[in-house]
Structure 1
Amino acid sequence: MSAWVALLLLWGLALSRVTEEALFLDPRPNLWAEAQSLLEPWANVTLTCQSRLPTLAFQLLRDGVAQDPVRLASPALEHRFPLGAVTSDTRGLYRCRSGLNSRWTGLSNLVEVTGSEPLPPPLLSTKPVPWITPGLNTELLCHGGLHGVTFLLRREGDDQFLEVVEAPEDTKAIFPVKRPGGGTWRTELPLPRFPTLNSLPRTGPGKQCPHGCLALMMARPPPPTLTIKTDSAAVLSPGSGVSFTCVATLEGVHFQLRRGEEVLMVPRASTSPDRIFFQLNNLTLEDRGFYTCSYQLRDNLTPWSLDSAPVELVLSDGTLPAPELSAEPAALSPAPGSVVQLRCRAPRSGVRFALVRKDAREHRVHGLLSPEGTEALFELRDVSGAHSGNYSCVYTDLAPPFSGSAPSASVELRVDGPLPRPQLRPRRIGAVTPGRDAVFHCEGRVPDVIFELLRAGKAEPLEKVWSHHPSADLVLTYVGPQHAGKYSCRYRSYPLLSELSDPVELQVAGE
């Protein structure tokens, strides 16, 4: 982002509202193919790489392998790469990139050059989201990669085409969704040379749509995600503050935070058009309880989204007697993989218990229970180094004035050894076609960690993904022959690091 901003300033663009919006634009270039004649699309082909800003360098990549870069004498917005008649030497999956202040941008969209009929299938996507809600203008974007073709849209299971769009000066077409309802949608991309549309691949009802799908109609947009900032996730004291983050499924929306059914008017800020931060200051005991957030399009005509999953805020004034916390078994250095039970006892019943874990990084609520009796049993299964830390518990009244206890004496739990070894497996079996993506699934046992993909013999990870769940997909984008080899994954929960998974070999077709 810093290079992008510097480049804008270099060309003298003031940071007005227009420029601020431009900062969110994707700097990756656009790539398309042009045929000298649509009647013979592969007889003479040129690939055009169009940059977002004037640049001095362009580079074409074929089947995951970078070609020699092109250096220009003066800045340009695009560069044309002539392929001529498509042969086995030029057939493949292409992307391009442009220079961005002495660095390369990310890769462009994918363009497939087959040299044979029928044309490659187009890519169908949705704007702004893959679902339909009354009042939201959802559109279908069909991207074909070839200039001057005709796009036809049809509904899955329906032989009739809903709409036909000619794109003489473009490689894509936009179809407004005029018939909201359930079902999936797909596109065909015929040329004048191909009169028989029935020869194109099709899918039956209930099958996955290969060219792109649109979800069922929804009366309300899907829910956002609400989280508490890490350093605010402990048991809080009156007078302290807390920060919530609400992330929506689309950009440019209004947000609201609620406690129960009450809409809260609290300070808020945003660093991205799809999320907002709510700040609650000077908390009181009455601020305890469950919080949710939702969003609405800025036109105020569409319904509010479904509510996020609730997040519970725990406050205690420390005026009630401290509970007692004990561990079963009593050994505080359990073997990895075993089960540990932490029992919290209060002097009376009818309270809500919170188990709190403090380690080198954070102080956070680990579990909440409201048993009928005077004690709560918290069970830690399959313990590992991630469970190491100092545990304590508190309890709070379920009725006003919502007083809370002082914390119990802490119990230190130490589990030796690294985090459990994850398992890595490819999402697809067999060799990967050059130019396609290779997707690996890394499955561990610990949530809220960073997953890393490593190649054998390399110390630095190729991909990193943070996941709230104990598993994540790791993607190698635009694979070429140079990516063939053995890969492993691991995950880290600072300062702990798991063992490497057993290796998985990536095979690239043609090698």
Structure 2
Amino acid sequence: MSVLLASLLIWGFALSPATMAAIFIETRPTLWMEAESLLEPWANVTLTCRAYTASLGFQLFKDGVAQEPVNVLALEYRFVLGAVTSETRGLYRCRTGMGDRWTGLSQLVEVSGAESLPQPSLSAKPVSWITPHLNTTVVCSGGLQGVTFLLRREGDDEFLEVAEASKDVKATFLVHRAGNYSCSYRTHASGHLSESSATVNIEGLEVPPPPTLSIQNENTAVLLPGTKKDLLCVAPLSGVQFQLWRGDVQMLVSMYSTTPGRVYFSSDTLASGLYTCRYSLYNSDKAWSSDSAPVELLLSDGSLPPPELQAEPSATPKPGALTRLRCRGPRAGLRFALEQKSAWVSRWHGLRSPVGAEALWELLDVSALDSGNYSCVYTDPATHPAGSARSAALELLVEGPPPRPRLQPLWQGEVTPGRDVVLRCVGPVSNLQFELVREGEEAEAVDTAGGDLVLNNVGPQHAGNYRCRYRVGWPSPLVSELSDPVELRVAGS
């Protein structure tokens, strides 16, 4: 890895999604708590912040509020809290860096004090299911170094396993049976147990669950002369091999991958039909997953006369109206497809096999998102890949802004300072770029992959009313109006 690339990664500079998928390295620091004596864990406490690589500065956050940074060249820095009091109890994180170049925040560490021990967390890796050919693991994580972790399965009287983490703050357990699992820890043999973690369900399956198959995020696509759209198969874990099927025939086509756990199948040699994909672990050729939901690929060589496309009742409908798009072919027995193209979307609507010579699509409650140039094609199922050229383009124009999104808080009541909160912005279509806006300020957070917008390390300064909006398209995007507000209340503010 070059020095420049390493520096970009260390300081969290943005790279392209494809590049990041291939070279992502976690650069956030690690924070843990050390007690001078585990017999009296709160008598003398130190928080250690370790950087990914040597850093010029360290900064601690308590209950969402930044403390004074420490300027020192080191791999780690120890923040001495001493005896835990009401002033030092709280939720802590740290970051490393200098000036305006800081890493992301570490995981959260709770300093509770008194007789209580903070609740650990339990997570399943790599997946939350097991099969006859795959065991999984659960990882129990706490913030205090050197404790003993205990794993319990619901319905069992005794702890399943016990693991001493003499120099760590987590323990990994191998899971062989399905069930509901939780974990806890203790500081010494006669000490009290911590509160149990939240429960993690491990499902028992005969075969691995299905992957997802898509063609540019859609479940249908039409390939016309000069176009290329490869099929993407995504498994829920990495370290697998893939197959592509057309009906009950395995397709031996070229494939490529940029990210573990997903593969692209080349469409160069594929014919029209319904396709599915499956996967299996590399060390178990017989343990194939269930098949994905099918996607339909339609090939047209453009040799047949183009159809005619009409909008009813108008090509300039009012927002909220019902609009019908009718595609007319030369005869019955054809397979039709409708394409929408605009600055913000390029997609094929559902395919149609009408009894007569025309296919109908109904656009319900139209908005500006439905605007664009539409065209339709047809193919002759009896003579694949014989199909038509595109119809003449029909411009559908709907005035006004796109529909407002909905903002949902994924918490209840007041938020404890130092916690993360998630607000879910729900839009009318997929592939939107969402923004979270606090009243009176600019965008707080952006999520291009979905609608979950995260506020990390919430403090009193985050209290207020939030709204969300979305953008779609580039370079001149459509921008929605703001959602109704959601109030974020932070305890103690």
Provide the TM-score with structure 2 as the length reference.
Answer: 0.89
- 1:352–1:233 distance in 2 versus 1, CA, 3 Å: closer
Maintained 8 Å contact 1:230/1:364: no
Distance in 1 (CA, whole Å) between partners of 2:21 and 2:301 is 45
Contact 2:31 2:48 in 1 (8 A): yes
Q: Does 1:492 align with 2:474?
A: no
Equivalent in the alignment of 1:479: 458
* Pairs within 5 Å for 1:140-219: 140-177=138-175, 179-181=176-178, 183-192=179-188, 211-219=198-206
Cα distance in 2 for residues equivalent to 1:413 and 1:21: 37
Q: What are the Cα deviations for residues 75-120 of structure 1, in whole angstroms up to 9, with x where unaligned?
A: x322111111111221111111222897322221211111133311
What secondary structure, in the 3-state scheme, does the structure 1 residue paired with 2:361 have? Answer: strand
Q: 1:135 to 1:424 in 2, by over 3 A?
A: same
Instruction: Give SS of 1:215's match.
Output: strand
The aligned amino acid for 1:397 is D
Q: Alpha-carbon deviations, 1:328-360, whole Å to 9, x = none?
A: 22x221111121111222232222210111223
Deviations 1:469-491 (A, max 9, x none): xxx22221221111112211011
CA shift, 1:424, in A, is 1.4
CA contact (8 A) 1:320 1:404 kept: yes
The Cα shift of 1:393 comes to 1.4
The equivalent of 2:367 in structure 1 is: 384
Over 3 Å counting, the alpha-carbon distance change for 1:410 and 1:241 in structure 2 is closer
- Segments of 5+ residues of structure 1 without an aligned counterpart are 11-19, 203-209
User: CA RMSD of the aligned region, Å?
Assistant: 2.9
| 8 Å CA contact 1:421, 1:501 repeated in 2 | yes
Q: How far, CA to CA, are the matches of 1:422 and 1:442 in structure 2?
A: 6
- Equivalent positions of 1:66-77 (< 5 A) are 66-72=66-72, 74=73, 76-77=74-75
In the TM superposition, what whole-angstrom CA distance separates every residue of 1:383-429 from its partner, at most 9, and x where no partner exists?
Answer: 11110012121111223434212322332210001111112131222
Task: Specify whether residues 83 and 256 from structure 1 end up closer, same or farther in structure 2 by C-alpha distance, changes over 3 A only.
Answer: same
Which residue pairs with 2:121 in the alignment? Answer: 123
Q: 1:104 to 1:308 in 2, by over 3 A?
A: farther
Task: Give identity over the alignment, percent.
Answer: 57
Task: Give the conservation status (yes or no) of the 8 Å contact 1:433–1:509.
Answer: yes
8 Å contact from structure 2 (residues 246, 273) kept in 1: yes
Where does residue 257 of structure 1 map in the other structure?
244
Q: 1:227 aligns with which of 214, 217, 223?
A: 214
- Name the CA distance, whole Å, in 2 between partners of 1:195 and 1:47: 22
Task: Kindly indicate whether the alpha-carbon contact (under 8 Å) linking 1:231 and 1:362 is maintained by their aligned counterparts in 2.
Answer: no
1:242 alignment partner, SS class: coil
Task: Give the partner amino acid of 1:463.
Answer: V
Contact 2:211 2:291 (C-alpha < 8 Å) held by counterparts? yes
Counterpart of 1:180, as a letter, is: R
Matched length: 481
Which residue of 1 is the match for residue 131 of structure 2?
133
8 A Cα contact 2:445 2:454, kept in partner: no
Retained in 2: the 8 A contact 1:244–1:277?
Answer: yes
1:13 matched to which residue of 2? none
| Alignment partner, residue 291 of structure 1 | 275
The residue aligned with 1:506 is: 488
Say if 2:433 and 2:446, in contact at 8 Å, map to a contact too: no
Q: Per the alignment, in what secondary structure is the counterpart of residue 482 of structure 1?
A: helix
Tell me if structure 2 keeps the 8 A contact 1:425–1:441. yes
Structure 1 CA distance for aligned equivalents of residues 341 and 323 of structure 2: 17
Aligned-residue offset at 1:438: 1.4
Q: 2 CA distance for matches of 1:102 and 1:317? A: 56
1:35 CA drift (Å): 0.8
Find the aligned partners of 1:316 and 1:88 in 2 and give their Cα distance: 72
- Name the amino acid aligned to 1:184: N
Structure 1 match to 2:333 = 350
Whether contact under 8 Å (1:135, 1:301) holds in the other structure is no
Partner secondary structure for residue 349 of structure 2:
strand
AA matched with 2:222? V
Q: Deviations over 1:164-186 (max 9, x none)?
A: 11122211111111x323x2100
CA gap 1:9/1:166 in 2 versus in 1, 3 angstroms: closer
1:49 maps to: 49
CA offset digits 1:297-333 (Å, max 9, x no partner)? 222356222323222222212233332322222x221
The separation in 2 between residues aligned to 1:396 and 1:268, in whole angstroms, is 27
Moved more, 438-447 or 385-394: 438-447
Q: Alpha carbons of 1:422 and 1:231: their partners in 2 closer, same or farther (altered >3 Å)?
A: closer
Q: CA, structure 1 residues 407+24, in 2 after alignment: closer, same or farther (shift >3 Å)?
A: closer
| Residues in 2 aligned to 1:140 and 1:232: alpha-carbon distance in whole angstroms | 34
CA contact (8 A) 1:230 1:362 kept: no
CA distance in 2 between counterparts of 1:231 and 1:135 reads 32
Distance 2:390 2:456 in 1: 49
The answer as to whether partners of 2:327 and 2:358 remain within 8 angstroms in 1 is yes
- Show the counterpart of 2:13: none
User: For residues 92 and 193 of structure 1, what CA distance do their matches in structure 2 show?
Assistant: 26
The CA deviation at 1:362 is: 5.0
Give the SS at the match of 1:367.
coil
Q: Aligned runs of 1:297-446 on 2, under 5 Å?
A: 297-301=281-285, 303-329=287-313, 331-361=314-344, 363-446=346-429
Deviations 1:215-263 (A, max 9, x none): 3112222222323237998632246432233322222322333333333
Q: 1:232 to 1:201 in 2, by over 3 A?
A: closer
C-alpha distance in 2, partners of 1:295/1:219?
A: 14
Q: Which amino acid aligns with 2:104?
A: G
Tell me the equivalent position of 2:108. Answer: 110
1:53 to partner: Cα distance: 2.0
1:315–1:444 CA distance, 2 compared to 1 (3 A): same
After superposition, residues 439-478 of structure 1 pair within 5 angstroms as 439-467=422-450, 472-478=451-457
Distance in 2 separating the partners of 1:138 and 1:428: 29
Q: What secondary structure, in the 3-state scheme, does the structure 1 residue paired with 2:443 have? A: coil
Matched, 1:277 2:264: yes
Distance 1:50 1:22 in 2: 25
Q: Distance in 1 between matches of 2:481 and 2:100?
A: 38
SS at match of 2:386: coil
Partner amino acid for 2:350? G
AA paired with 2:463?
A: A
The 1:364–1:2 alpha-carbon spacing in structure 2 relative to 1, beyond 3 Å, is farther
Counterpart Cα distance in 2 of 1:239 and 1:264: 22
Q: Distance in 1 between matches of 2:263 and 2:375?
A: 32
After TM superposition, the structure 1 stretch with the greater mean CA deviation from structure 2, 494-503 or 359-368, is 359-368
Aligned residue for 2:15?
none
